[in-house]
Every structure is written in C-alpha cells, then in structure tokens.
Structure 1
Amino acid sequence: MVTTMALCWRLERRDGVTIGLTAHDRDLAIDGLVYRAAPGMTPSAIVRSASLEADTMDATGALSAQAIGEEDLLAGRWDGAAVTVFATDWQAPGPGVVLGEGTIGAVETRGGMLTAELRGAAAALERPVVEETSAECRAELGDRRCRVAMAERRRFARVVAVDGAVVTLDASESVANGWGGGRLRWFGGANSGLEDSVVRSEGVRATLRRPPRFDGVGALVEIGEGCDKAIATCAGRFANAANFRGEPYLPGIDLLTRYPGG
C-alpha cells in the first residue's frame, strides 16, 4: 500500500480559481478535479499535534506558468489561498487521508523554485481575541457593523491612463477625496481579480497604495467610496455616528504625562 501512495495538494484561491497538484509522475482525477503531475513538489515534515500551537508546514517545488506562476505569486493572487494536503492511492484515486489543511502564508521564490508556508487553522489563535481601543473607527465602510448602504457608492469605470500609482478613470468622484480610503477592483486585463487600496483621489484620478502589478490601461474596474474613519466624517458625510466603532474622546496614555499649564 505504501508503494502506491501519492501526495496531492488542492489549492483554492480567494477569487475561486482551484488547482490540483500531485507528487505522482502522472495526472490523477479526483472528485472532478485533475491533479497535475508535479513530481518536484515536496513537503517538509508534517507535524500534527493536539496542543494550541500553530501547525505549519513548508512545500517546495518548481514554478510553473500552467499552475503557480511567479508573476501571479508576486501579484498576490495566491495570498491566503486555502490548501489541503492529502495522500491517496494512485491506483484508485480518491479523497484519501488528509495530512494537513490551512492557508498559504509566507512565500519565497528563488532560482525558479517556490517555497510556500502553509499555516494551519490553529494559527488564527495567534491573533488578538478582543479589539483594542482606538480614536478611529475599526469597522470597514459598508460592512455589517458600519451599515452604510454601498449600492449607490460604487461604480464601474474604465482606466484611461496609468502613471505610476496614479490611475485616471473615465468617471469622476462624487465628493472631494471620495474614493480615498476605498478599494479598486480590477475586472479586466492582466490585473483581473486583484484589488488595490486607494490612498486619495481628486476628480478622475485615484492614487493607489502601490502601482498596478500589470498594465491596466483600458481595463474595467469597480471603485467604491472610502472613509478616513474619523468621527467627523462619519457624522457629517455619512450621518452614521450611531454606528461609529471607535472611542474618539477616550483619554490616551498622554494624559498621564500632562502637567499643569502644559
């Protein structure tokens, strides 16, 4: 039985793209998904424990344009992708025995080789369990805590020009710096499926946090209004102070260092 075992990887990107890879020397079809042969794909030692420590594993293999390309990795398409590693009998391929599950963490590329860290479900326990106080709102504009209706605050536009991180659209913002703090989603061209944060906007121009990964001229995008997370903006622009998720008037640590007349 051991001599007929083959390792398989199922990877599901956040945009819905799913691929399968196997360490076997030929493709395997399992539950409607073809696991492409990638004999050079090898995992590090898989350690599973009952403790609360995060389970991690590294997978190393050759980069392939047909599967996981370097450009897609650097563009962030595989960030946070769900991964399942399992062993199956290549003579009768099936779901097999699950060896590890998690998401893709740190990724390193060197000399045409890919090394990806797989972080298990227990890694979520490393995050803070409660929120810290903050003067700014901790909700995202339009989410279930903010509750601002976004249907009329998003629009589709076409990219007219790209100059570094500045994107010019064929549509203008509705209010001054209205897109600042918002998100721009690409629906066409080489950037399709990617998102970018908008730092600020002016008229038809939006400045992104970083330049587009690929050429975006002529591509269709969706851009939505943003928020600077200040109580004044929440109350004045969105009339939503009742749902503000911050403590703008809570004294800070500097209160301890104040002195009379300071």
Structure 2
Amino acid sequence: MENAVQHSVTTLAYGWRLERSDGVTLGFTSHDKDIWHQDLLLRASPGLKPTTIVENLGLDGDGLDVHGALTSDAITADDLAAGRWDGAYLEIFLFDWMEPETEPQLLASGELGSVSFSGSAFGAEFLGSKQVFERSVAPYTSPSCRAHFCDAACGLNPARFRHPLRLKQAEGSRWHLDDMPHFERNAFAYGTLRIMDGPQCGQCFDLLGSDESCVTLASPPRKTPSPGTRMLLFEGCDKQLATCAMRFGNALNFRGEPFLPGNDVLTRFPGAS
C-alpha cells in the first residue's frame, strides 16, 4: 500500500467482499479488469461505488451507502428484491492492483441493510458496528409468542408442517396450487411458500392468507414462475396462545406472557373503574 501511494499514477482501487448468510461469497473491484485478491476473484464493476467514508473512534456507520448498477449476473434485481442479500456481510477496502498480494487497507465492514431501486441501479444501506450493539440483548415481554415457528425455542418439528405442491396458476398475489391440503380458511396465513426449481429456486414469500386451492402472497415477485413449478408450502402460526394450544398442542413451549398486565396498569389510580 505504501508503494502504491508513492506512485506518480495511482494504482489503488476499491475492493468489495460480499458474503451472504447462505455462504455465497462474491468479490468486486472498481478496477477495469478482474483481479485475484486473497483467493477471491474480484470482478470488474466500475459502476459499484460507496458514498463518502469517514473514519472515527466511535461505532457509527456514518450514513455510508452502497450504490451500483445491475450489470452483473451475480447480483440481480430479483435476488435483491427477494431478500437474498439482506444481512450480507460486506467489507470495503483499498488495494494495489499492481501488487494484489499485498495487505489491503480496510475502510469499512458491516452488514447490508435496506435496498432501494431506481431503474437499473440499486442502493443499499450499510449497517456498521453500532447497529449490532443496538440490538436487544434480552427479550421484551409480549402477549404473543416471541419464538419463530418450529425454531429451537418453539420445539416443533418443521417436517410435520411442509407440503410439496406444484403451481397451477398465478394471478398477481394469488397463486393457485395443485393438491392443496384440506385445512380451514387462512390456515396458511403467516406461513411461507418456497420455490423449489427454475431460475427463482430458493426464493421464499410470506403468506397473508389461504383458501381451498390458493394462497395469497404478501409481496409477489416481479417475475411469476411458470405453471408446474415445484413449491414447498410451510404452515404458519399467528403466535397466539390459543393457536399454540389448540392447533399445535405446544402451549408448554409458548414464549409469551398473555396474562401479564399491560402498561395501562401504571396509569390507574384508586377508584378508577
């Protein structure tokens, strides 16, 4: 890095390392050619750039945003919209493209936050160390269950609540499925639907409701899968004690306080009805 600064013509370039929660790792560079750097191929992406980076002794992210053009097959608008890159770990660094084996200068590291679109370009919020420390350490009390359906706290086996199906027809947010299991209306509300094949394989969508033959998606994808696409339907839970006890028989693992008085108790005074 010291040699690069002393050159009459700069040989410094931005480097990006993106690691998704599923382990997929990609590298990009502001240089005009692909470069191998620390066993990771940095693909040339001149349109990818950060806003101003300010170093300080605190934990703030300094409002850093990431902007770029959707010119790479590695990051598509559908993947960004589907949330595949939400929470991805990001490193931004400077390196000498003439000597890529030298140690880089780390500029920032953190997670990708909310993503916005404008035509063929995208912008992503950068979450620094401060956001990590602002997360709650201990859970708050709540009348509804704080566990995620079928996680370790819930204790139920997720295999019991999965249903393999095929897409029959998609009409906006309402998707008709073949061989829908016979449940009462809106039994799959709060559940999810996962695409199991095709170009959108792996994408998951939250469900608002269901009836005898179709489900209603909270946010349908821009491109609808073709009929016959394999799907995996997951049942959901509204996190209420009655549902946990009557439908799933799992009240013992209910992670909520439905009978705990609310904050309105603090405002009461003697004689108030």
Question: Is the structural similarity TM-score above 0.5?
Answer: yes
Match of 2:81 among 74, 83, 102: 74
Match of 2:96 among 61, 75, 89: 89
After TM superposition, give the deviation of residue 124 of structure 1 in Å: 1.8
Counterpart Cα distance in 2 of 1:160 and 1:137: 34
1:124-175 per-residue CA deviation (whole Å, 9 max, x = no partner) reads 2233333332211111111111111122211222111112212222232353
Counterpart Cα distance in 1 of 2:19 and 2:148: 25
Q: Is the 8 A contact 1:15 1:193 kept in 2?
A: no
TM-score of the aligned structures, taking structure 2 as reference length: 0.84
100 and 29 in structure 1: CA distance in 2 versus 1, 3 angstrom threshold: same
108 and 140 in structure 1: CA distance in 2 versus 1, 3 angstrom threshold: closer
Task: Name the SS of the counterpart of 2:160 in structure 1.
Answer: coil
4+ aligned runs moved over 4 Å, structure 1: 254-262
Is residue 2:175 matched to residue 1:163? Answer: no
Tell me which residue corresponds to 1:36.
Answer: 43
Matches within 5 A, 1:15-164: 15-54=22-61, 56-94=63-101, 96-110=104-118, 112-164=120-172
Counterpart Cα distance in 2 of 1:260 and 1:197: 47
1:86-117 per-residue CA deviation (whole Å, 9 max, x = no partner) reads 22221232362322111112333335443322
Gaps of 5+ in 2: none
Gaps of 5+ in 1: none
Task: Name the SS of the counterpart of 1:235 in structure 2.
Answer: helix
Q: Is the 8 A contact 2:190 2:208 kept in 1?
A: yes
Q: Is the 8 A contact 2:192 2:207 kept in 1?
A: yes
After TM superposition, give the deviation of residue 222 of structure 1 in Å: 1.5
Match of 1:221 among 231, 238, 242: 231
Task: Name the SS of the counterpart of 1:181 in structure 2.
Answer: coil
Counterpart Cα distance in 2 of 1:209 and 1:202: 15
After TM superposition, give the deviation of residue 72 of structure 1 in Å: 3.6
Task: Name the SS of the counterpart of 1:151 in structure 2.
Answer: helix
69 and 239 in structure 1: CA distance in 2 versus 1, 3 angstrom threshold: closer
After TM superposition, give the deviation of residue 260 of structure 1 in Å: 7.5
Tell me which residue corresponds to 1:244.
Answer: 254
RMSD between aligned residues: 2.6
Amino acid paired to 1:53: D
Q: Name the count of aligned residue pairs.
A: 262
Amino acid paired to 1:238: F
Task: Name the SS of the counterpart of 1:73 in structure 2.
Answer: helix
After TM superposition, give the deviation of residue 178 of structure 1 in Å: 3.4
Tell me which residue corresponds to 1:197.
Answer: 206
TM-score of the aligned structures, taking structure 1 as reference length: 0.87
Amino acid paired to 2:53: I
180 and 22 in structure 1: CA distance in 2 versus 1, 3 angstrom threshold: same
12 and 159 in structure 1: CA distance in 2 versus 1, 3 angstrom threshold: same
User: Kindly, what percent of the aligned residue pairs are identical?
Assistant: 41
Please say which of residues 66-75 and 1-10 is displaced more in the overlay: 66-75
After TM superposition, give the deviation of residue 246 of structure 1 in Å: 0.8
Task: Name the SS of the counterpart of 1:103 in structure 2.
Answer: strand
